[in-house]
Structure formats: C-alpha cells, structure tokens
Structure 1
Amino acid sequence: MNKTILSTKLNIPKARPEVVARNRLIQHLNDGMHRHLTLISAHAGFGKTTLVSEWIANCNCSAAWLSLEERDNNPNSFLTYIIAALQTLEEDLGKEILSLLQSPQPPKMEVMLISLLNEITSVQYNFILVLDDYHAIHTQPINHALTFLLENMPPQMHLVITTREDPEFPLARLRARDQLTEIRNSDLRFNSSEATNFLNQVMNLKLSNKDIVALVTKTEGWITGLQLAGISICGHDDPSSFIKTFTGNHSFIMDYLIEEVLKQQSVYVKDFLFKTSILDRLCGSLCDAVMENDPLTGQETLEFLEKSNLFIIPLDNERRWYRYHHLFAELLKQKLLQDLDHTAGNKKVDIAQLHIRASVWYEKNNYEIEAFQHAAAAGDVERAERLLLGQGVPLHFRGAIVPVMKWLKSLTTDTMDANPTLWVMYASVLSMSSQLNEVEPKLLAAEAALQGFEMNMKTRNLVGHIAAIRAFLATMQNKVDIIISESLIALENISPNNLAVRTATTCKLGVAYERQGKLSKAKQAYTEAISISHSSGNKIIEILSVIGLGNTLAKENLLEQAFKTYQQALKMKDDTPSSCSYNAYKGLARIYYEWNDLDAAIEHIEKSTQLAKQIENVDQIITSNLIYVQTLLAKGDMDGSSMVLNEIKQVVIQHNLEGRISEVSETEVQLLLKQGNLLLAEKLADTHKLPISRARVYLSQGYIDKALNELDAFYQEINHKEIKDKMLNIKILKTVILYINGEIDKSLQLLTDNLLEAKSGRFIRTFLDEGKLMERLLIKAHTKKIMPEYTELLLNAFKLEKVSYEEQANKIYSQLLLEPLSQREIEVLKLIGQGLSNKDISERLFIALDTVKGHNRRIFDKLQVKRRTEAVAKAHEMDLL
C-alpha cells in the first residue's frame, strides 16, 4: 500500500448486529445491480452509510469502499484513492496509473480513466465500488471524470454513491437509459414499524405505539433525530411528556437535541467531545495529546463513547481509529466556536492551542500533511511554513497541492510580504497546478518583498528558487536562452542543501544546452544532475538526466554508448513513472533504425508513442512518429509513411506547433523525392529554408554546383556546434554529390573519413538511405580495400535492401534447412554466438525470458541440434553468423 494512502478511508464500515433491518431498501438495492449507478442522496443522519454497509455485508458480491472528504478534491489524489480502493479487490489493478500520477506532468484524468477501465474489463467477477460522502467533492474535473466513467463502465462494475446533495452528473440521461437506481430522503425515513424496532429493540426504550408515532411524525422518520431523541428520553422519567414538548423542524430539532444530549454528559465527556471535534479522525494517543493531562486515557474515553452510542464510528477492526458522525462533529465544532466557557472552572478554550497540540502529534508520527493543516488552522504561520517546506521536499511536491494552495490563498498580503518564502511557495504551487499565467505576478511580489531583507543564505536561496521557477516557465515555452540565464542565476544562489530545486534546475540546464548544440556543456550538466539526484534519491530527475546524457552521446555519434545509457535508464525506472521513459525508447528506436534493425525500431517507436500519449505529450508523439515515417520509408512502405505523415501534419496544425513545421517538412521532402514530386519538394525546401533538403532537391534536378554550395554553406554555419550526427549526414551526402560530379578521388577520400567516423557507431542506415550511388561508391572503396570489413558490411546491407530477409535466407539455405530462420531468430542466434545468456538476450532485446526460450527451441528444431554449442557450430558452418 502506498505510504501516502490513509488505509482507514478504504475500510468498509462494519454492519452492526443491532441495526434495524431495511429489507425493502435492501431489495431495492439488489434489483438495481444491473444498472450503472445507485445514488443514495439524503440529508445528514438518514442512515445512508449504515444502509450500504448492511447491504454489502449480505449481498454476496465483492465490494471496494472509499470514504471521501474535503482534501480529496485534488483530481490526482481522488484517482489515487479510487485505485487504492480497487486494489483491495485486485492488488495489481492500476499500478501503472499510480506511477503516472507521480510524474511531473501527469496525463489528463480521462486518459488515465481509459487505461483503468481497460484494466477493469479483465476482472473476472462482478463487484461494487462505493464512494461514501460524495458531497465533499465539489471539483468539476472530478465530476466530469465520474461522468466519463459512468458512460463507459464495464458490465462487471457497479458504482454506489452516498451524498447529501445530488452530484453534477447527467442524472436525467441516466434515468432515461435505465442506468440509475435512486434512494432518497423519503425512502430512507423510518416508517412506524422500523422506528418501533429501532427505539424499543435497539435502544431498549419500551415506548408506547402512540409515543413512537408521535416521534416519527415530528422527526419525519429522520433516523439521527430519532436516535438523538432516544438518547434524550433515557434521562427522562416521563417519556410521553418529553415527546409532547418535542417540536420544531429539522434544524431546531437538531440544536435542541444536541443540547439535551450534551446536558446529560459529564463535564469531562463534554470537554473531551468539544476539544477533539477539531480532529477529522481520532485515536487514543492523538486525543491524549490534544486533551493534555486528562484523568482518563484517550483510548478509554473513545471506547466509552462507542459503548454509549455517542455518534462515534470505528474505522478499523482493532478499534484504534475512530471518527465522529459528520453531523455530530459539525455541531460540536459549532458549539466550540460559539461557547468557549463550557469547560471545568469556566476556563475558556484556546482553539489555536488545540490545533498546535494536534500538529505536534501528527509531526512526531510522520503525518506531515495533517501536521501542516493543523498548524495552518492554528494561525501559526512560522510552524506551517516550516512544515510546508518539508525538509527540502515541499509538501506540494508530495500531493498536498490543495491544502497548501488553500492556506496560501487565505494569507494577507502583509503576511506574505513579511515572509517572501511564502510568495515563492505560492508561485511554485501555481506552476505545479498548471496555472502558469498566475506565476509571474507572485514572483514579482516575492522580489518586491525581498527588497526589505538583508541578503543572506536564506534570501539568496529564495532568489535562486525564483530564477529556477522562471527557468521552468521558459522550458514550457521553449525559450532556450532564458532557460540558461535563469538556471545559471538559480544555481549560483540556491543553497547547496536545497537538492530538490538544484537537481531539477541542473537537468533543465542540460536540456537547454542540448537544444543549443553545446553538447559538452549538456553532458556536464546531465552528469552533475545524475550525481546529485542519485545521492538525494530523486529517481525521476536521475532517469531524465540519464536519458538526456544518452541523447548527447547519440548526437556525438557514440551510438554504442548511447544505447547502453538508454538501457540503463529503462532498468532504473522501477516504481517511478514509466512515462518519463518515452525518450529512452525513442532514443533506442533511432539507434535501431541506424543499425538497420527496422522491426526493433518500430517496436520501440510504438512503446515511446504509447507512453507519450499517456501523458498527452503531443511534441514527443510527433517526434516518435517522424521516426516511424522514416522507418516505413526504409521498408519501402510509401503509402504507410504518407498516411502517418499526413496525421502528423494535422496534429501540428491543430495544436499550432509552428516550431515543428520545419522538421515535419524535412521528412516530407524525403517522401516527395522518393515519389518523384520534385516541384513540391523544391517548394517545401525553399519555403522553410531547409539546407540539406534543398541540396537533395538540387541533386535530383542535376544542379550539382548548387547542391555543393548549399551543403558547404550549411556546414560552415553549424561547424562551431557539436552536433556531429548532423555534420556526418552533410558529409555523406557531399560524398555522393562529388561522385556524381566525377570527382572520384575527392569522393573516396571523403568517404574514407566518413567510414572512419561512422565505424565505431556501426552506422548503416545513413549510408543506405543515399541509395544506389552510395552502393556504387562503396563497391569502388571495397575494390581499393578501403576499410574492407566495414564496406563489406554495408554492401551486404544493400543486398538485403533488394531482397527481403526471409527471401535471402531461403535463397541461401533452402537446401540446408527444413524451414528458414526468421529475422528475430537470426538475431537471437547471433547473440547466442556472442555468448549471451537467455537473461542477457531478454534484456538486450526487451522481450520476455520465456519468449527467448521459445526462440531457442525453434532455432534448435530448424537447425536440427539439441544444445547451444551445437547451434553456434552449425550456424558458423552454414555462414549464418
């Protein structure tokens, strides 16, 4: 169970043995199981929760329970608890989504609900999900999410909602579709028979039928009203006289009965009830801390209250945690505020001090969010701030955005100006809740407030944090220069102990340098971020930095190192959000493409795209799909590449992503040239000023000098940068152009340089994509024994371009094998030949261990051998390796 989950919220209240049987309502609930939703909507004290817990105890259907409260209005927190409730039925349900919820940019609620609903469809039995006290939820995104869930709910799931007010769902539509069962005030009211059972058998009052009818009439069957009346009657010698004087509508009855109940309690019990009403949940030691120096222990008093039926509800089977009936708790709080001299000796209660005692207890017991909330309620700004900062990892970094935001909004400008840290925290919370337009005004307020403070370590740290937040905003806007300038200011000023902000800022700096093509600086920043995040335990930033390092290595043409770095990132993810791994899969896809393993490239593109879609990262979806287009082109699938490219163009237009148009157009030019559409290719290349594309168009048109001039000018333009992959592409294209121009010696010399640079990275596709002219040039190089092993590798790859892999295998081995090996089987066989274990092969190819073993069996069968050593020997004999 997630440590941030309060497990008592997931416990189904135990059905009490002395409860009044509600057979008519139980039958109504049973009859509605075929519908999507059962809505139990009624005022406080009508027995909604009791009814549902009684029904579940006897309905022979699996059930999950979630008790809701005000703090659950954060959509991510709400969904976290929904999944936690469902995991009481199926332990692994929603694990991936819980990881996504911890990511820096979680996907939208609807996206995660789709994934959750897909998982629920695999549950093999019918079950009920109960959301108790839904009236505590007033956030529209949650209402929309529940509406979406109801409209797409799998048939094995049934939702039950108890609430004091109707939720903002399309109830009329659900009624029209016969997907709604409703139980309301009129249904829940005790009739005379049920009231007789309750008052005379459960409460043992022995009232006459006349008195019971009178009480039912005056309370209108309101269960809590009857219960409160019954408690009051216990202290009267003449119940009939009491009932005659018992008048008024619900609100007056409520005040009157609470007064009557409280008057019959001892001074100690009243004092305990009032003081502990500030607590949402109660346990013995927490009550001891709040009450301070009481004659009885908190646990003894809680057990006494439960036995006395004083509106206290156990939250676990061990009777450790309790809560007051919500209505009772509200009234106690109201009385606590209205009348502060009810305690022994008429000493007024210091409510702020009660909250401070509760805050101290919660902090000692590692409930940091609750400790913060009570400090905030006490008005202790200094303590609340300290708890908010959370020893280096602020509370809003740990899911407490709603209570932190609520507190900061409640503070006066004077209070914030007196403590600029609060302005900075406010800006940080707003940036995390995607309210980006409101961030800068808070930062300006923080800077204005800091003018009146002496510059010391604390104020310098605030200056650094302000800059770090601005760097984050610039990252979202892709303003590279601002990312760098603000990040450098941040790192210069942030305290060395503020590892959370320092690490994230260093990683952002690496991203900015990488985008600028300053790869040495990017590697330095990523390496530093990896070191700091590893020592501080910030796994997400560490993974993102490792992936960033892999990107820089790939741009330096160090493909083997980049490959291992991406794999390292994937191995590190464990319980961290897998969504942050999409860049690793994308990087691996590019390398597999370059190594001409097109099937593996597509496999990793699909993984990257899937993860990017989960967090709705449109930018990354476009990047992955552009690689997909190139891979389809390499496989000769012109129609498929054209279709995917058109989809990308629509997304770019839809999201107004002007910054991606040039890159998309560059890929489109490649497709147009293969299709022979020179006019449109030329237009695109000129419109978007694409030097390499223009050179290719000139080459296709026969304008050799123009092509060379275009490439030389572009090479000089980027020569000061460290993007070696782009420069290698330019030089390889220039090699082909020189060859066409008849400059054979120059062409071969440049090819030699290119081969020397490309060999360590095992570049293949970069040569293959230049087509027949490159093949002819490589034949000449091979004839002249220029790097013969590498040129032979490339020429063999050209041969496989002409004949599919299976066809080639059939042609060579048809006389030797009963059945040819597939491409994946050849790949596995090669790794066996390299001495890799099944586990190593599984990790290298990102496939299950059982899948590797299955490949082994088929390879052995086709080669007609029994063990690995024989398979390798036979493969060498047949020249398969």
Structure 2
Amino acid sequence: MLIPSKLSRPARLENTVVRDRLLEKLSTAGNYRLALVTSPAGYGKTTLVSQWAAEKDHLGWYSLDEGDNQPERFATYLISALQQATHNHCASSELMAQKRQYASLSSLFSQLFIELEQWQKPVYLVIDDYHLIANPLIHEAMRFFLRHQPENMTLVILSRNLPQLGIANLRVREQLLEISSQQLAFTHQEAKQFFDGRLDTPIEQTESSQFCDDVAGWATALQLIALAARQSSNSPYQSARRLSGINAGHLNDYLVDEVLDNVDSNTRQFLLKSALLSSMNDALIVRVTGEENGQMRLEELERQGLFLQRMDGSGEWFRYHPLFGNFLRQRCQWELAIELPAIHRAAAESWMAQGFPGEAIHHAMAAGDTAMLRDILLHHSWLLFNNSELPLLEESIKALPWETLLERPKLVLLQAWLMQSQHRYGEVNTLLARAEQEMNAPLDDTLRAEFNALRAQVAINNGEQEEAERLANLALDVLPLSSFHSRIVATSVQGEVLHCKGELTASLAVMQQAEQMARHSDIWHYALWSLIQQSEILFAQGFLQAAWETQETGFRLIHEHHLEQLPLHEFLLRIRAQLLWAWSRLDEAECCARQGMDVLAGFQPQQQLQCLALVIQCSLARGQLDNARSHLNRLENLLGSGPWHSDWVSNANKVRVIYWQMTGDKNAAANWLRLTPRPASADNHFLQGQWRNIARAQILLGDYQPAEIILEELNENAQRLQLRSDLNRNMLLLNQLYWQSDRKSDAQRVLIDALELANRTGFISHFVIEGEAMAQQLRQLLQLNTLPEIDQHRAQRILREINQHHRHKFAHFDEGFVARLLNHPHVPELIRTSPLTQREWQVLGLIYSGYSNDQIAGELDVAATTIKTHIRNLYQKLGVAHRQDAVQHAQNLLKMMGYGV
C-alpha cells in the first residue's frame, strides 16, 4: 500500500513569492530530457517547482525518503507517479512493478517506455529529494532511464547535490536544463516581496536588501528572520546578523534559541513528537501527540511559518521541511528520551490502523517493542514477502530475539524462506534444524509439513533426489488444502524428482497437476515453472512439436500476467532456443538466447551461463569458429566461478568439446577428460548429456573402444526410459565413432536409424554439427537412392545446411589437402603447370560450398573486388568459364582424393 503523500504535489502556500524569472526558465523544460534543480537545503527548490507544476495536467510527483533506496519500492512509487501523470495509461508497467515481475529496474523501465511512447502527449515526472538515494543500482537504472526515455517526456530532479546520473553528457548535447543555488538565491526585489507578505510592519527596501545580502539570498534564513521578528523581542537586524554566513550544518543553536525557545510548552511538545513521523495526517497526529484536533493543529503551525509543508492539494498530508524535521528529531532524541519508545509505539499502531505495516515495522523496531514487531510479522509478513520487501523483513527478523522466533515457529519458517529466496540454500537446513532442536514444544503436524516442503525444495536444488522425494511425500501426507503454497511446492518437487529419475510420463502428469494447482491459487510463477518442466519432458521424449505448443502456453501466461522480467522467463526463452536450434532455425535460436541474457541482465553474470552456451552452439552450427572462441573464453571464466547444476555443466561442456572436435584440439580434450568426474549413472537426460561429452572427447582422441561402451549403455538406458531425443543424439555420435574407426557399414546402418528417428524429433542441427564427415555419408546414401522419401528429404536438407556452413571448414582445400593433391599421380597437368595460390584454393572451396561472391568476401574478410580477381585467376588456371564448371572441377578433384561427394 502506497503512502498518498509521497505521490502528491506540494500545495501552494499563502504569501509565497512567485518567482517569475525562474518560472520562465522552467517553462522551457519540455524541450529537455532533464531539468535539474540543485542547491543546499532551504533554497526553495520544492516551492519553486511546485509553483511551476501547479498548472500542469500530465505531471507526476514523487517525494523520496530514505526508505526509497530499495529498488523495488523506488520502482513502484515512480511508476505510480507516472500513472497519475498519464491517467493510468501505464497499467502493464504498474502491474509488473506491484508484483515485482522484472529482473532489473532497467528492464522494467523498458516496458514503461513502450507505454509512454503510446501516450503521445508531453508528460513530466518530478522526483524530489534525490540526494537521499545512495543505492548504486538505482543510480544505474536512472542513467538508463535518461538515455532511453521517450521524446515526449521530461524528468525533473530536485537534489541537494549533483546526482550520479551522467549529466555531463546531457549538458554537452544540450538536453539539460539547470537551476543552481546561485539562481535560486533571492534577489533584493524577491526579498522585499517575501518580508511584505510575512511581517505586520513593512520594512524599507534598503533594509530587506541588506538582510538578503547578509544571508546570500538563502530563503530559509529569510524565513527565520521573519519568524524571529514575529515571535521574539529580537529585531530583524539581530537575527540577520546571527544568520550572516551561517549554513545548514550550523543551524541547531539558532533554531533552539529563535524557534523552540519562543513557542509555548505544548507547541514544543507537539513539534518534537510529530517530527518522528516522516509524513503525517490527522489520525497519525492525534494518536502520536494526544492532540484532539490534529488537522487544526497542523494548519495552525503552517500559518505560524514553522516549516510545515502540505503534501497534497486536499491538505490532508503534511511534512516538515527536511532541515527543520531533522533538527526536531535530533532534539526529540535528547529531550524526550524516556517517552520515545511510547511515541514510536503509538506511531506504529496508527500506521497499522491505516493499513501500512511497512511503516509500522520501522516504528516498532525504533520502539524496541519486540512483541509488537512479532505480531506485525505474524499477520503481515507474507504480504510484505510477496511485495519483495525482503530487506525490511530481514532487518525486522534480526531485531527479534531468537527465543521469540522459537515461540512462533512460523517466523522461523519466514526467515528460512527469506534465505531460500536469496539462494542461501546451505543456511536453510541449518536454521530449521537448530530451531527444531531448541524449541520447547514440538512442532504441530502442519507446520512440520511446511518445514518439510521447504526442505524438499532445498534438497532438489542441491541435486539430492532421494531426500527431496522423501521430504515432499512427508509434507503432502500431512498438509491441509489450506496450505496451498506449501502443497504446490511439494508437488512440484515430486515432479522434479520423477524427471531426474527418468520417469518422464509420471513426471509430466505431476507437473500438469502442479500447474493446475498453481493456476487455481493464482500463483503464476509456479504455473510457469510447471509448464517449463513439461516442455523439457516432452523435448526429452522426442515430442518437439508438443514441447513447442507447451512453450506457447508459457509465453501466453507470461504476457497475460506480466511475468516478462522474472528469471523464469529466461528459462522459457532458453528451452525455446534449444528447440529452434534442433530445427536449424539458428537466427531465431540465437535471438531467444540473447533475449534470455537480457532478462538476466540485472542478476549475477554467472546466471547467463546457459544462454551463453546456446549462443556458442549457434556459432558452431554455422561453422563460425572465431566467434565461438570469443564467447567460449567468457563461458570458461564463468564455469570457474562456482558450483553448478549437472545440467548446466553438461550443456557448457558440450559446446567446449564440439569446438575442440572442430578445431582438432586433442590436448584440451585430454586435459578435460582427466579432470572431469564421471556421473554415477545415465538414468536421465541431464546425465546422458555429460556421458556423451565424455564419449565425444574419447572419439576425438581415438579411444574408440571405451567410447563405444559408453554409447551402447547410453542407448540401452535411453530406450528403456524412452528418451528419444537422447537416443537420436547417441546414434549420431555412434555414427561418428564407426566412421572414424573405418567401420563404414556400421556407420551407415546407424545413420539410417538416426534419420528415421529424426522424423519424430525433427533434428537437423544435431546432424549438421558433425560437418564434413556427415556430409560425405549423406551423399553416399543419396546416391544409393534407397532411403524412404521422407528420410531422403531430411538428408537433402541437412546436406544443404552443411554445404552452407561447414564444408570448407573441414577436409578439402586446406594446405595439407592441397599438398597431398599436388603429389597425387592423377592430378591434372594444368594444375601442376599453373598452380593456384592458397587463397585461390580457399576461394574454390567456398565456391564449391555454395557461397556467393559477397559471402566469400565476408568469410575471408576482403573486398568483393579482390574476390572477383581471385575468381578470374582461378578460372583461367583451371580452364573453366563458369561457376558451375568450377564446382564440377572441384568435385572431380575431391573424388580423385577419395571423398565421396
């Protein structure tokens, strides 16, 4: 629940000086990205901008306090302010902010900008007191905001210091409007107008000008002079002399003498007590100060000029000027030390009565009232948890004695879920075990079951399948239907366990059940998680089209419930990329992988490991080895940064081993094999992948016998568990083993089986990645003309893909091949007498692979005109006139060298 006063424009005060010269400057703000008003406290920043904003319809106002350093809170208020400015036009962004469904502030702002561009009217956002922001994540997000905000938007920032927003660049590009303390300082004319509106007896122009000069036009000092003149026997001259040269850091003595000591005792008490509230209304004032007419008291203080500011047009909410409020709070700590806990307790009770548990928690902690804090958490912690108020919950849990947590085990469970939500899995079991050991009374059955559901989630995260299954079953045997969150967690864990065991059909049914439970309870992230798991299962079973359709359901769920910025969105994009890669839709696959990396941009870089592996996989499928190598460097750095799930390790190792295969790097493969532990089994598709990596490395090293043993066992397990996609992959690797060990008939038999199975899986890139060796075998099969029609079409498609991406990378027309060719007894005499240069051989190989002139130029990184010269020269040396003749000539040379083209 948002505090209305933080989103309200300050109301215009009576007798406020209208500063036409500055308002005229601000009238051009719509021409700039940023209007920046900076000065020390008390120069009238807020008053000036509120005057300018008074007549603006499409303007949002956001007043900051120290609590806004939490990014989620900052985002929620900022977008709510823009909702006011645009009359609720940014509904999708607001919902994402409220549900915390975004990976970073930048990603949330990207969605916001889409809606703001559709608004198509000038819109302004004022952020007051930006100097209170110290969180670098917010500074970084606001720099992004300024770089990408729509042209129809102007951001107005009020700050005591120069904000860390990269404003130098805006200044150079003339996109910055600046108003500094020098410009905000009152002129002589404005000072005269100011005193005329506040003093019963007018003063001369020369006197007001002197006062203005004495305090360098500081508005707060002028206000103090006027206040002292009304409330004490001191003359304005004495006040001016005392304030001459003073700054905001040395006001305490003056404020004691000239303000607190000059009000009656009741008013003094009222000021000190009410200052503990960051903002206040009638109900809060009545409860905290004991005054019966809080609203009237506030309005009276406002008339007296005691630095009270209205925060909204209705006049319901007020706050003290920051300088005066800080001063009063410091004095309250000293003068009312004994009463302070009771005042904070009253504030907490009043905030709770108005439905603001977060504000109440701050006061309960300040009061040191652990019983009150405990009760607030027991009744409202899950509301705050679901609103991502995690730092506040962490702080409040730490403020409670351990004995209090033991008396209320639900608070122990809350603390454990806080750890789980921050991936501090190792701490969860330690905490729960300690709590159970030290509790005076045993847990009731329901709470123990909720403990077990959480423990089951931790266990499956750690790869402890048997323990996760045991705990999930224990939880579901006891949990009542009303404990829907824990029941969904435990059911989902059951599905994951079955998935890991390779019991895919059973796992699919459980995940479908978990999805329905989550949808029924509106827990959308668990519904999405269940859909992702279903898609992975269907993929493993070889039902790729069904997996695609399940993914489509997941994408619809994300769109309907604004889940775009959840990390789970990256997971869905990643498995969509895997499917697109399998079907050789490489551009789309890479796009999905990169979108997944964008979703995780606000998280630790390690989280991007899986999508990065997919980007590399796309490069490898295209034969772009240099590009793959540059990404592999980053992937290998990430691999060394921490422990990973077996699936993550397997996918990362897969692209490394394939790269070593393509580049013939046997040393890297041998080193990896020596250091890589062997999985205990191959009973699921996660472990099958790592065993395949081991077999591929062994084939590269010529260790065919151990690789064959591995692959035969993998096939047995894949057939038993109906892991059809893994079976298809295993066949292709077994084909390479037979081919390289010169068992050509076995290789052909396995390849035919793999092509037949691919009719179900739709695999293309898994064949393409094997390169020239695969191409030679497919050509032979096509020449035999014995394949069924559907298999023949697939073989032709795969061959076209290899021709486009891979053939020139492998056996033909490199230096070694050319050397052997020139020494062949049947080489044409024309080639002996007029040999091609190495670059011309490369060009011939690319022509044979189906590359256009422009593609050849791009591949060799030379100008197109240079390629034309090379082609003209090689045509002349070969005695051919056309591209097709050159292709035929190259094909004849390859046949002569023993390649079945």
TM over 0.5, shorter chain: yes
1:551 paired residue number: 536
Distance 2:652 2:798 in 1: 25
Contact conserved, 1:40 with 1:184, CA < 8 A, in 2? yes
SS at match of 2:374: helix
Instruction: Report the alpha carbon displacement of residue 798 of structure 1 after superposing the two structures with TM.
Output: 2.3
Instruction: Report the alpha carbon displacement of residue 37 of structure 1 after superposing the two structures with TM.
Output: 7.0
Matching of residue 585 in structure 1 with residue 546 in structure 2: no
Contact conserved, 1:567 with 1:584, CA < 8 A, in 2? no
Matching of residue 540 in structure 1 with residue 538 in structure 2: no
Q: 1:201 aligns with which of 181, 197, 204?
A: 197
Contact conserved, 2:276 with 2:329, CA < 8 A, in 1? yes
Tell me the amino acid that sits aligned with residue 370 of structure 1: E
Contact conserved, 1:513 with 1:521, CA < 8 A, in 2? yes
Q: 1:623 aligns with which of 582, 606, 610?
A: 610
Matches within 5 A, 1:447-486: 447=436, 449-450=438-439, 452-457=440-445, 460=448, 463-464=451-452, 467=455, 470-471=458-459, 475=461
Instruction: Report the alpha carbon displacement of residue 565 of structure 1 after superposing the two structures with TM.
Output: 1.4
Instruction: Report the alpha carbon displacement of residue 723 of structure 1 after superposing the two structures with TM.
Output: 3.8
Distance 2:433 2:698 in 1: 53
Q: 1:354 aligns with which of 335, 346, 367?
A: 346
1:253 paired residue number: 254
Q: 1:651 aligns with which of 635, 639, 642?
A: 635
The range that moved more, 561-570 or 60-69, is: 60-69
1:99 paired residue number: 96
Distance 2:175 2:169 in 1: 9
Matching of residue 384 in structure 1 with residue 373 in structure 2: yes
1:828 paired residue number: none
Matches within 5 A, 1:569-718: 569-573=554-558, 574-579=560-565, 580-595=568-583, 601=589, 604-613=592-601, 615=603, 618-619=606-607, 621-627=608-614, 630=617, 637-639=622-624, 643-644=627-628, 646-656=630-640, 663-670=651-658, 677=664, 683=670, 692=692, 708-716=708-716
Matches within 5 A, 1:416-455: 416=405, 418-419=407-408, 421-429=410-418, 432=421, 446-447=435-436, 449-450=438-439, 452-455=440-443
Q: 1:53 aligns with which of 42, 50, 53?
A: 50
SS at match of 1:523: helix
Distance 1:83 1:387 in 2: 27
Deviation by residue 1:800-833 (Cα, 9 ceiling, x = unmatched): 445589x9xxxxxxxxxxxxxxxxxxxxxxxxxx
Matches within 5 A, 1:798-837: 798-802=795-799
Distance 1:174 1:604 in 2: 33
Matching of residue 282 in structure 1 with residue 270 in structure 2: no
Instruction: Report the alpha carbon displacement of residue 213 of structure 1 after superposing the two structures with TM.
Output: 6.8
Q: 2:358 aligns with which of 358, 369, 373?
A: 369
- Provide structure 2 residue ranges, at least 5 long, that are not aligned to the other structure: 244-249, 679-689, 805-901
Distance 1:678 1:655 in 2: 19
Distance 1:98 1:712 in 2: 52
2:39 paired residue number: 41
Instruction: Report the alpha carbon displacement of residue 460 of structure 1 after superposing the two structures with TM.
Output: 2.3
Change (3 A) 1:348 1:89: closer
Distance 2:63 2:619 in 1: 51
Change (3 A) 1:261 1:183: farther
1:796 paired residue number: 793
Tell me the amino acid that sits aligned with residue 794 of structure 2: A
Matching of residue 405 in structure 1 with residue 401 in structure 2: no
Percent identity over the alignment is: 22
Deviation by residue 1:515-544 (Cα, 9 ceiling, x = unmatched): 554535643553343233222211112111
Deviation by residue 1:165-212 (Cα, 9 ceiling, x = unmatched): 666789999999999987666765545543321121355543456875
Matching of residue 12 in structure 1 with residue 13 in structure 2: no
Change (3 A) 1:792 1:380: farther
Deviation by residue 1:614-650 (Cα, 9 ceiling, x = unmatched): 656645x44345445555665xx312x6523541343
The range that moved more, 431-440 or 220-229, is: 431-440
Tell me the amino acid that sits aligned with residue 443 of structure 2: M
SS at match of 1:279: coil
Distance 1:622 1:511 in 2: 21
Matching of residue 729 in structure 1 with residue 729 in structure 2: yes
Tell me the amino acid that sits aligned with residue 730 of structure 2: I
Distance 1:244 1:622 in 2: 66
Distance 2:508 2:615 in 1: 27
Matching of residue 139 in structure 1 with residue 135 in structure 2: yes
Deviation by residue 1:748-783 (Cα, 9 ceiling, x = unmatched): 9x967994x765555666677765646866998967
Instruction: Report the alpha carbon displacement of residue 507 of structure 1 after superposing the two structures with TM.
Output: 3.6
1:395 paired residue number: 384
**What is the RMSD computed on CA atoms of the aligned residues?**
5.5
Contact conserved, 1:665 with 1:684, CA < 8 A, in 2? no
The range that moved more, 34-43 or 397-406, is: 34-43
Distance 2:135 2:698 in 1: 59
Instruction: Report the alpha carbon displacement of residue 712 of structure 1 after superposing the two structures with TM.
Output: 1.6
Change (3 A) 1:246 1:589: closer
Distance 1:36 1:291 in 2: 41
Deviation by residue 1:107-137 (Cα, 9 ceiling, x = unmatched): 4567777888999999989876543123433
Contact conserved, 1:232 with 1:260, CA < 8 A, in 2? no
Change (3 A) 1:772 1:654: same
SS at match of 2:351: helix
SS at match of 1:557: coil
Distance 2:160 2:89 in 1: 33
SS at match of 1:578: coil
Deviation by residue 1:557-586 (Cα, 9 ceiling, x = unmatched): 233332221111111112332142233333
Tell me the amino acid that sits aligned with residue 127 of structure 2: L
Change (3 A) 1:684 1:527: farther
Change (3 A) 1:638 1:484: same
Distance 2:585 2:638 in 1: 33
Distance 1:531 1:609 in 2: 29
Tell me the amino acid that sits aligned with residue 726 of structure 2: K
Instruction: Report the alpha carbon displacement of residue 482 of structure 1 after superposing the two structures with TM.
Output: 6.8
Distance 2:582 2:140 in 1: 45
Change (3 A) 1:711 1:557: same
Contact conserved, 1:605 with 1:625, CA < 8 A, in 2? yes
Distance 1:75 1:741 in 2: 62
Matches within 5 A, 1:75-94: 75-86=71-82
Distance 2:200 2:300 in 1: 19
1:563 paired residue number: 548
Deviation by residue 1:6-33 (Cα, 9 ceiling, x = unmatched): 4543443344573224456557878998
Distance 1:442 1:403 in 2: 19
Change (3 A) 1:671 1:467: closer
SS at match of 2:62: strand
Distance 1:560 1:245 in 2: 82
SS at match of 1:38: strand
